[in-house]
């Protein structure tokens, strides 16, 4: 009996030593630098368990051994804290680093930049092209209801949710800007401000010009003059569904549509694009000016005029510039 008792004691010691050695080995493997040589993206699907995550990590070469990772996380990590999402794993990340990253929820942040002046159709196309978003967009939002800016999101976010953020951002911007409008404007509602801002947005891409262009249109509205904005004519033809693809003709300018501001008085019935905050700011606080005309000047900006005679001279210069460009291209 004493011999059996001694043997049992020896076995206990050997087993304890083995377990201790395994523990030390696992701990060393868990904390050792990993095999990655460059940052690598890793996606944890919703509902994935630890063993599935470990297998995927090993398959992508992020950890050296799936079994070691799974066992070590159960012993040293927080197996229940691993989260779904897309993660950017840094080079040489240890198993411990990888487990901590996935448990942290610090997922990869994507972004989409919506340029000012896009139509709602173009914005929907932009979101549909963002492959990391999910879901479909059933309807195209009304023109002027989406705020152009840069939006951040994570893989798996829905397109509809991001579109709603754009709606909410536009409404917040309109409420803020309209509350700070100057007195005496010929635009009476926030909706009219968005319509005019969309025209300003499509007329100029020069930040410094926006208040001046807005001032010209405000002067025209006050005088009862037609706005005579080419972008509104184009929108009346395309309705924002496709690029125009050609130059406007005299026939286009003479053809009545609800958006042809050469033919209708005042503002068109709705926005022609989605204006940015700067254009919204410009129409509620326009430049104080006597200008009532402007035309492109060939530099990306515009030449402004107070009289028709001065405007006609600017137009002649613009046409001369266009003829020069045509000759150079031939």
pLDDT tens for 259-282 read 999 999 999 999 999 999 999 999
In the predicted model, is pLDDT for residue 327 greater than 90?
A: no
Between CA 31 and CA 97 the distance in angstroms is 8
Instruction: Report the pLDDT value the prediction gives residue 2, as an integer from 0 to 100.
Output: 54
pLDDT per residue as tens digits for the range 74-130: 988 777 889 999 999 999 999 999 999 999 989 999 999 999 999 999 999 999 999
Element (H, E) at 85: strand 85-89
Averaged over 131-140, what is the pLDDT? 91
In the predicted model, is pLDDT for residue 330 greater than 80?
A: no
pLDDT, averaged across the chain: 91
Between CA 148 and CA 4 the distance in angstroms is 81
Q: Which residue, 170, 193, 216, sits at the end of a domain?
A: 170
Q: Does residue 220 sit within a domain?
A: no
Tell me how far CA of residue 158 lies from CA of 121, 128, 130, 137, 316, in angstroms: 18, 10, 11, 9, 51
Q: Which residue, 104, 120, 147, sits at the end of a domain?
A: 104
Instruction: Report the pLDDT value the prediction gives residue 245, as an integer from 0 to 100.
Output: 87
Q: Does residue 204 sit within a domain?
A: no
Q: Are residues 94 and 35 in the same domain?
A: yes
Q: Domain containing 317: what range?
A: 290-330
Q: Are residues 75 and 116 in the same domain?
A: no
CATH number at residue 323: 3.30.160.60
Q: Does residue 231 sit within a domain?
A: no
Instruction: Report the pLDDT value the prediction gives residue 277, as an integer from 0 to 100.
Output: 97
pTM summary value: 0.82
Between CA 169 and CA 65 the distance in angstroms is 47
Between CA 29 and CA 293 the distance in angstroms is 74
In the predicted model, is pLDDT for residue 12 greater than 50?
A: no
pLDDT band of residue 318 (cuts 50, 70, 90) is: confident
Instruction: Report the pLDDT value the prediction gives residue 199, as an integer from 0 to 100.
Output: 98
Between CA 155 and CA 72 the distance in angstroms is 28
Between CA 119 and CA 299 the distance in angstroms is 25
Domain count, the chain: 3
In the predicted model, is pLDDT for residue 13 greater than 70?
A: no
DSSP bridge pairs for 152 = 111
- Is residue 94 within 8 Å of residue 103, measured between CB atoms? no
Instruction: Report the pLDDT value the prediction gives residue 172, as an integer from 0 to 100.
Output: 98
């Amino acid at each position: 009996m004493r011999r059996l008792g001694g043997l049992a004691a020896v076995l206990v010691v050997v087993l304890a030593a083995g377990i201790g050695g395994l523990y030390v080995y696992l701990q060393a493997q868990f904390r050792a630098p990993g095999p990655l040589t460059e940052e690598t993206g890793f996606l944890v699907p919703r509902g994935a368990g630890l063993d599935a995550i470990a297998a995927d990590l090993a398959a992508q070469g992020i950890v050296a051994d799936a079994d070691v990772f799974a066992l070590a996380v159960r012993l040293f990590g927080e197996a229940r804290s691993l989260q779904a999402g897309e993660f950017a794993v840094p080079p040489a990340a240890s198993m411990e680093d990888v487990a901590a990253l996935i448990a942290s929820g610090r997922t990869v942040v994507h972004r989409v930049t919506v340029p000012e002046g896009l139509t709602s159709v173009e914005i929907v196309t932009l979101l549909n092209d963002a492959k990391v978003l999910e879901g479909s967009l059933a309807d195209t939002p009304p023109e002027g209801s989406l705020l152009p800016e840069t939006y951040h999101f994570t893989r798996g976010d829905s397109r509809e949710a991001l579109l709603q953020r754009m709606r909410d951002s536009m409404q917040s911007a309109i409420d803020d800007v309209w509350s700070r409008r100057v007195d005496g404007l010929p635009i009476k509602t926030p909706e009219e401000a968005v319509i005019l801002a969309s025209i300003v947005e499509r007329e100029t891409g020069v930040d410094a010009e926006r208040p001046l262009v807005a001032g010209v249109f405000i002067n025209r509205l006050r005088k009862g003059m037609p706005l005579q904005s080419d972008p509104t004519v184009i929108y009346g033809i395309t309705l924002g569904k496709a690029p125009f693809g050609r130059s406007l003709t005299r026939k286009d300018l003479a053809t009545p549509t609800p958006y042809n501001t050469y033919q209708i008085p005042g503002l068109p019935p709705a926005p022609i694009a989605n204006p940015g905050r700067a254009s919204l700011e410009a129409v509620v606080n326009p430049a104080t000016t006597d200008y009532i005309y402007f035309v492109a000047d060939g530099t990306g900006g515009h030449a402004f005029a107070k009289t028709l005679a001065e405007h006609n001279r600017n137009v002649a210069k613009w046409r001369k510039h266009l003829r020069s460009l045509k000759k150079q291209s031939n």
